[in-house]
Each structure stands twice: as C-alpha cells, then as structure tokens.
Structure 1
C-alpha cells in the first residue's frame, strides 16, 4: 500500500506491504528530516488538530494494518531539530489511531526513503542524462551575418523538444528524455525539485484525504474520486524505434506459419541503445525471439502467462550479453484466397491497426515491466515494452507494425475501467459498480464540418486514442549478438539432443582444447554454439550447471576469446564432451569388402567347396528374381503372378 507523509522538509510517499512493521515507516520518515530528535517526532493524520499528536516512536513494533493505515493515507509530521534551542512551533493534528499497548521505541535500518535517488536506471538512461541533448544547426546563409566562430538565434542549437523541428522532420512524439528535458530543463536545480513524472491513477483514493466520510463504496467526494478523463494523444513515447539485429530473426519466426499455417507468439529479447534519428531517442535492439508454450485456436492462439520457464529464460538472457525482455511479437496472417502466394491485408485505415484485445494485453504486460527512473517519486514510470505484429500489407507482402499503449490506457486497465469489445477497432468502457468507480470519459474528434467536438467515450471509443506508434527497421550492416539462427525453435518440436551430439562430434569438439585451437576451429565452434535457441535448449538438458550455463551464454555472445577458453575448462563442458565421445558412431574401415572365394583374412584361407557351391547356387537363383511392376515386391524366379497383389508380373 502507498503511504504519504508531509513535513516541513517536503512531501514524500512510499510503498509498504500491509503486514510491514511500523519501524520501516519510522526509519523512512527519519531519513527525510534535518537533524531531527527522534523523541520529538510526532505524527498525525489531521493538519488542523492541535496538541493531540502521537509520538512516532510509540507505534514501532506494530504492523501497519493493525494501526489502521490504509492505501493512500496522508500523515503530517512535526519535529524539533537537535540544533534548535526551542521546540518547533508547528502543531500536529489529532490522529485517528492510537496504540493499545506500550511498544518498543527501537527502529530498524531499512532502504532509503527516497527510492528515485537510489534506483538503478538502464545504461541508456544514464547515457542521455549525461548528454546535452541539444540539436545542432549549421550556419544560415540567409540570416547569419557573423563570423565563423560566432553564433546567433538563427544557428544556435535547438532544445531537444523544439516543436518546429519535430514538425519539420515528421516526428510525431517526443522521446522520453526530450520530454523529461521539457518538464525539467537541464539548467534547473534538480536536486531540490521533486521528480517531474507522476504515475497516473484512476482509482478512488481510499481512505479519503479529507477523512469526512466512510471509504468507498460507503461514500465518495470530490477529494477522493478520480477526475473526468479526456483521452488525448500521448506527447511522448518511452521507446522510439525497434531494430531487429538481423532479418533472419523475422524469417525464422515466420517459418512456423509458412509450414503449418498457424499463428505464433514470442518474446523479444534485446537491449536498449541510443537512437540518433530523433533527439535523445531510444531504440530497442532485438537479438533473439523466444517462443513460450502456446496452443493454436481457430481465431488465434492461447498463451499461459507467466509461463513456468520465464525466470530461467530471463536469467539466461541477462547472462547472454545483458539481454532482457524488450517486447512481444505475434503473427496475424491469412493467405489471400485469390492468390495463395500473397497475404491478406486485414489491418488498414478502414478496419483497425491494433485491436482492443491486443491493446488490453499490451497494457497488462507494460504494467508488469515499468521503467526504473529517477524522474518519478515511486522510482518507476511507464514502460518500454513494445508489441510488434506481423501482418499483411496492401501489396500482399508481410510487414512489421510496432506499437505501445499510452499511460492512460495502462491506468484504465489498472483501474479495471475498460475491456475489449467484439468490434476489434473499438474499446468498451465498463459499467461502474460497488467494486469499481468509473468516472466520465471523453474524447475529441473533428466532425464533418471540421470542428473539434468533445464526445462521451461511453459505451465505447476508438482504440487509436490509446496507441503510440513505434517505428521499426533493420541495421544497414547487421552485427547480431548471435551468429547462428538455425537450431530448432523451442516449443515447436524438433529439438533433439542427438543432433547436438552429432554436430559436436562432426566439429571434433572433444579434441579441441583451450589455447590449442586454430582460428578456423574456434570460429566454426562458436558459429554453431552462438545460437540463442541452442543455448536455451542446453539449459533444459540438465548437463550444464547454472554457473557453467551462464559461462556458455557469456562466451558465445562475447568477442573475448578467453571466455571460450574458460568455457572449455568447465566441468559441464567436459561432461558434455564425454557424452559426445560415448555416443559417437563406430569407426568405419576403409578396406574394400572381401571378394567371393576369399576368406577375407588372407590368401591362405579358403572357403570350403560345399559352402562355395551353395553360395554360387543361391546367387544364380537370385539372378532370376522378378519385381512386381504394381507393388514392387520381389518374387522368386519363374513366378508368373505376384505373391502379394496377385497381378501378372509381365
């Protein structure tokens, strides 16, 4: 639950479990104060009461839920600093709770009270925070009248959120850090400013901040009810571009649909990197696609999430070059009935681009993968998880379309306000009841007269109001993290340990030793092992320990040759090589088969005459074998009809 605190040092908020000890709250409050005397700290939930506050130390040792604390409560803190000569004149209000028994005043040391100051951000966020971010401009030949080393208003760099620049370059959304720079300019003192991003919430505040009535659904007022919602395009996007490291990723993913005609779903594994096509942009670089267990339906597919192997795959991806889940991808393809070589275009301006069911699914996944950021008081905000769709184009080809859903969409899903409708292009607003409060929802559009009209979104509204478009593409010079993509994909069938053993035997892997391989041998071995699907399959085989498996994932994705030598020295690799040796086929002799009449062991060994005569007689009898032209059965010499099908042999 979320608890809020207000003191002379500012406003603070923290998340706690309902069963958490009050000592955690005490420790966080003390960390926000300036040289406070712990014995003088008082707490209350009413800013207008006088002289009836409760000592903060008196609630230590009790659970928050036992004290009557609820999600969203606001408390007021007063204290006296140790450097002060007189007690604080600030009064504290009367609390609505009181301890029922004396408790210990001791406190425990816990995490810092301001999570946005200690959150571990993604490297791409760290990179952009250290950059100026301004858009450079060259000298304007028409207006610049200064020297080469001077600058004026016509050539000075632009801010990354400059509206005219985005309009001229057809950039629809601000990048995440350009939006942050617009809210908090780099010249401002961010150390004393509160974080600029506040996560949206459309839930009723329980209990009411005013505390004048029973909590929802017993009562509601303007202080605790959510405001009316006006749907509007999101001005920024958390990720600007999706880059697939190699076209082979899409080709392999499509192979299942090409061979079976069924749809597929997968998770995009990759990393985030700067994207220079937009000011302070961020792109998701996809290095692999992992397909979880799924079943095909008549109108799509079913995926059970979270799946049982999710934790193992996430840990393995992190070991393989620091990868993480950056999005999802699925197919929605139907062959054109008039030309089976083309795909039917179902997603277009006249139908829909992203269905309401897909938007709800994307919102739920985005809520599960927030961005750790220093720009939010909770330490997290939004999500960079993208959803890509492989669908047909008007020309009959296949293309990728990438989307995110807006923060409004995620907040409405979190508040259980919307649901998918039978019409894929529209989203349905749920009816309010005692379990959920649904405020008024509106959206704007231009009517047939070109006038902007505000209309109620109940009972439904277009899905496009919740979408954020994300561009996609491939690198000009591919340099994928995994050099191979040929091993069978998980959960499709076809994965077999015998094929791995056979290939490793063909590569003479048991005979390769660290520091003794040629460059060609090293390249050939890495070329086979550097396959995400192979690494994930070896992890399931049980041959590798967890530590050695991470060594394998690191070795096949690194350019450091010493990591391959380290892999060859692990116990798990030696165990695998032992299995390869034992499963190797028996060696074949290069000597030709012995001639008829020879013993096969030397010229001094002869076949007895009676055995030789029987062999010659059998060879003569076999010479007259007749093969049936109908069923290809070999009949004995002299037969006229086939012994199997009964038809004439001639």
Structure 2
C-alpha cells in the first residue's frame, strides 16, 4: 500500500503530512506535534478530531494503525482542548438577552406585493420572501437613518454559510508582541512574523453591541443634572440598569437605565476627573447585582451656560461641523468597555466587545440640553487596552498612535480617506480622526415612564441625597437619613428603602456594618415584598442605626397612633384605622 497525504487544519494554518501504511496513531500524533511545533509539556492539551465540534476524537493509540481510520486526502482538525474549557467558563456569564436572541432567526417578514407577486396568499417568491436581519441595504430602505446592524444580526451573517456556526470564531484584536517566542532575542533586539502583531487598518464598525439607550423616567437624569445646576461644574456617573430586546432593528438590544451612581470625582466648570479607585465600587456592584441590575454605561455632562439670559446652553459638539467625542473621552470609553466585557461562547477568549455605553449630556443645535449615546469600536478598545492610543494636545477630535520604543512595540495603524481629488488614500494614524473609532446610538426616555425605585411614590417629597456630593452640601449621613425616613410611616418601610442611593449608603456605611444582612433587604426591594422589608426593619442592625438618630427615637417613623382594636400603627392625620376602619379614640 502506498503512502497517503492527510490534511490537518489548526489555528496555525493547514498542513499536509505523509501517512505510511504501518504508522500507528501514536506515531502520527508525534508527527503532528512536531509539524505544529507544540511544546512537549502541552501534548495533553491538543488532540486530533474528525470535526470542528470536537465530537469525533481520533485516539492517541499505539495499538491502532492510522491507516485504519484515515484515508488519502482526509481533512482532520488539530484542536486545543484547553481553550474549549476556558470558553466554557464564560458561557454561564452570558447575558440573558444574548441567550434569548440567539434562539431567534431575526428574519424580516415582507407582505405580498400586489404588483410583483403572482402567487396565491399562502405562497412566497423572491419579492416577498423574508429578508435576513443583516441586510443593511434593505434596512436603509425601511429607515434611511439606519447605519448599523445589531450584533446578533452580525452573528447570523457569520453563521449563514453552509457550515453554519462551525467556523464562527470571534477574534479579539491583539496589538502586542506574542510572548514566549524562542526564535530570536526579545524586543527591541528581535521580532519575527510569528510574534509580531499585524498591521491594523481602521474600518468603521458596521454593527453595534447595543442599539439604544433608554432612561426609565425623567427623574433619574433630573437628579443627576441638579449638581450642574447648583454648582456649574461638570458631572459624571455610572449607569445601572438592564438589557432588553429592542425592536428598532432586527435582533436589537436596548440598555434600560434605572439609576445613576456618582463615584468620587474632581469637577470644574470645564472638566471632570473620575477616581478610578472607588473604595465602594465592589459593594455598589454587589447591591446592583442582587437588584438584577448591571453597570450598563457611564454618563457625563459637557454643558456651558449661554450668557444670553434665556436659560439655554451653548452648542459646540455633536454634529459634523464640530466633534462627537474627544480623543480623551474615546480612551476613557475604551477603558470602561475593556473592564465590562461582553461574554460570548463564540470567542475562544470567552468574550468579544462590550455592551458598555457612553452617554453625553450637551447642548444641541437649538441650545437645549440633549443626550447622545456612543460606543467605541472593538478596534479602539484593543488600542486602548494595549496602550497604543493617546490624545493630541490641542485638537479634541484627533487621537494619535504611539511610536514604537525600546520598551513597547506598536504596530502600524492606517486609515483610509478621500483626498482633494476624491481619490481614496491610505494614511498612517498619526494623527487619527476619532470618528473612525466611534459607533453612535440613540439615547431617549421611556414613552411610558417606568419606576424600578420609589421616584413615583406619593409620600416622597425629598429624595435621599446622592453620594459624593459634598461640593453642593448634599451629604449622606444619619441626619439626612432621619429627615428622609420621616416621610414614610412604618408600614411603608419598603417604599422608603426603594432608593438605589440609600441602599448603597447602607451597604457602604462605616458606622454600622450591614454586610451580613443587607442582602435580605435588597432582595425584598427587588421582589417588592413589603412584609419581608418590615421584618428586616426589626433586626438588631437596623435598631442600632435608629439609635444613632436624634434623641434616640426611631427616625423611621412619622407621628403615628395605635389602633385600640387591631394595634395597627396609623399616620397621625388619619381619623380612622387604615386597617380595620375603627375610629380614632
């Protein structure tokens, strides 16, 4: 029997190996290890398969001839089994909305065209067959302002071939030298094609991970903007909410904002600097998680009062004649998007991109306060992660790619634009217009307001202070807690606790440690279980807090009277018992 040629496909490419009639599977494995230069210590992490799904294993056996399983011209796959295990670790972290949308086909249905369709009402033809969700040209015909497809529509496009999802692997861009190359001295003394990152050509991203940002109600941003109204200083905060399906585009995702947390920051009339080492960050994220909320983005103001006396603001950004995001803001957005990753099963890294959004509050063309939503592209997040992107000194809309140094190799980055003769030319990204890095998305308010917290409570006259607002004399302390709790009778304890800023204050306060009991309270708020909230108010921890209030009285109660019949505590203004209707004696 003559020797055979076997094709082996791997992440390093496709190679061809000779298979002799008497070769065992074990000896063939050794040939493959040698051809792909796999380190001996990693032999157990690589295996041969008949399929990419790793369901049909080719055993590493010395007792079986390879020719019994393999024939001339066969294509087999040399795959790293460890990377599959790493991917599995992230699958449980996929957002529920991703799991839900992955089950849908997203097809855009079309009705029967009375002029072009010549079939019956139950038939279909080329003029009325459903359209794929990633058909951008058709989406533009429906809505001329459409510029992007959704991320899940983009996934459907990758999975649309005859092989379906077998070759759908989302790869994260790498801008650093691959470590561990033994064929030359380390940089700057040597570099080769195997460890050198590829040249990057910037392209405008044609899909987005989030398609819309919506605030549940207007009170959320009104409270946020009050800091600017009182001080004239800019302000930033983190958006906490959830992701839900968005019908504006096929398979779309919307970020719904329920609260804004304001971290420690340094502010002025023209700038804001967030303290990235917030000591309370972990506990705030923990409270949000119990509430079923995620950190879905960040928001910052860029508002300058107009001196005309009309109560309007200046317009100097947000259109083609100005700029959308500055290079500094793009880098900050990239930092946050790298921190809050989008976990997916379709990447060997376990993640790809981010659903973290950026919202800018600025003046529009009518000089009114306006909200604009953005993300930066996955190429931008990679450049930020690997410290390749820096701002320019004097032009906000221009960024700059670092030069390579002895300490860091930076790949060449190019972008394409049209010159004065309308010819497309390629330029190196020094400097770089940041519009190549930006993905815009609409930011709006719910048509029918929704209230996750107590903003709509009829008892609420003054909200609990927002954190880190000492500059405008808004302090979170027990005195503020007493004044806040006076608005709520005991039986409305759940209403009182349904405030995100109050819950984070209780979780982070240093006076009374609530670590062991705060989860029960937050779960009661999430499930809107008033009875559980009242039971929590009877804990020793809450009693300790009440003793810190003025005169040692229970500051969680307004003036009340007890019914002689059923012992229910009623508001002082009530003339009959709210429980049994017995007149007040």
Q: TM-score range by the shorter chain?
A: 0.7 to 0.9
- 1:145 CA displacement: 2.2
In 2 relative to 1, CA 216–46 (structure 1 residues): closer, same or farther, beyond 3 Å?
farther
1:177-192 equivalent positions in 2, closer than 5 A: 177-185=152-160, 188-190=163-165
Using a 3 Å threshold, how does the CA distance of structure 1 residues 543 and 496 change in structure 2: closer, same or farther? same
Distance in structure 2 (CA, Å) of the matches to 1:186 and 1:475? 38
Counterpart selection for 1:497 from 473, 478, 489: 478
Partner of residue 419 from structure 1, selected from 390, 393, 401: 390
- State the SS of the aligned residue for 1:473: strand
Give the secondary structure class of the aligned counterpart of 2:221. Answer: helix
Q: Give yes or no for the alignment of 1:558 onto 2:540.
A: no
Distance 1:294 1:153, change over 3 A: same
The residue that corresponds to 1:583 in the other structure is: 553
Question: In structure 1, how many angstroms separate the alpha carbons of the residues matched to 2:439 and 2:404?
Answer: 27
- Residues 1:333 and 2:303 are matched in the alignment: yes
- Name 1:393's counterpart in structure 2: 364
Q: CA deviation at 1:194?
A: 4.4
Bigger mean CA deviation after superposition, 371-380 or 483-492: 483-492
Aligned equivalents of 1:127, 1:80: Cα separation in 2: 35
Alignment correspondent of 2:211? 240
* Bigger-Rg structure (1/2): 1
Q: 2:287 aligns with which of 313, 316, 335?
A: 316
After superposition, the C-alpha distances for 1:78-128 in whole angstroms (9 at most, x for unaligned) are 998277732669xxxxxxxxxxxxxxxxxxxx9962514762210000100
Find out whether 1:507 has 2:488 as its counterpart.
yes
Evaluate the alpha carbon distance shift between residue 570 and residue 48 of structure 1 in structure 2; reply closer, same or farther with a 3 A threshold.
closer
| Equivalence for 1:94 | none
Which has the higher mean CA deviation after the structures are superposed, 375-384 or 430-439? 430-439
CA contact (8 A) 1:43 1:75 kept: no
Contact 2:232/2:269 (8 A) holds in 1: no
1:579 to 1:436, Cα distance in 2 relative to 1, 3 A: closer
Distance 2:375 2:334 in 1: 8
Q: Distance in 2 between matches of 1:496 and 1:198?
A: 48
TM-score, scaled to structure 1: 0.70
Q: How does the TM-score come out when normalised to structure 2?
A: 0.78
Deviation of the 1:380 alpha carbon:
0.7
Alpha-carbon RMSD: 3.6
User: What secondary structure does 1:372 align onto?
Assistant: coil
| Separation in 2, partners of 1:253, 1:302 | 16
Shift of 1:39: 13
Cα displacement (A) at 1:298? 5.9
Q: Which residue, out of 481, 492, 495, partners 1:527?
A: 495
Note the C-alpha offset of 1:149.
Answer: 2.0
468, 473, 487: which one pairs with 2:464? 487
Q: Indicate the structure whose relative CO is greater, using CA pairs within 8 Å and at least 6 residues apart.
A: 2
Equivalenced residue count is 505
Corresponding position: 1:139 with 2:139: no
Distance 2:266 2:320 in 1: 30
What are structure 1's unaligned runs of at least 5 residues?
A: 1-6, 13-35, 61-73, 90-109, 513-521, 589-650
CA contact (8 A) 2:494 2:530 kept: no
Per-residue deviation at 1:395? 1.4
Note if contact 1:241-1:284 (Cα within 8 Å) is conserved in structure 2. yes
* Alpha-carbon contact 2:233-2:270 (below 8 Å) kept: no
The alignment partner of 1:201 has SS state of: coil
Partner of 2:409: 437
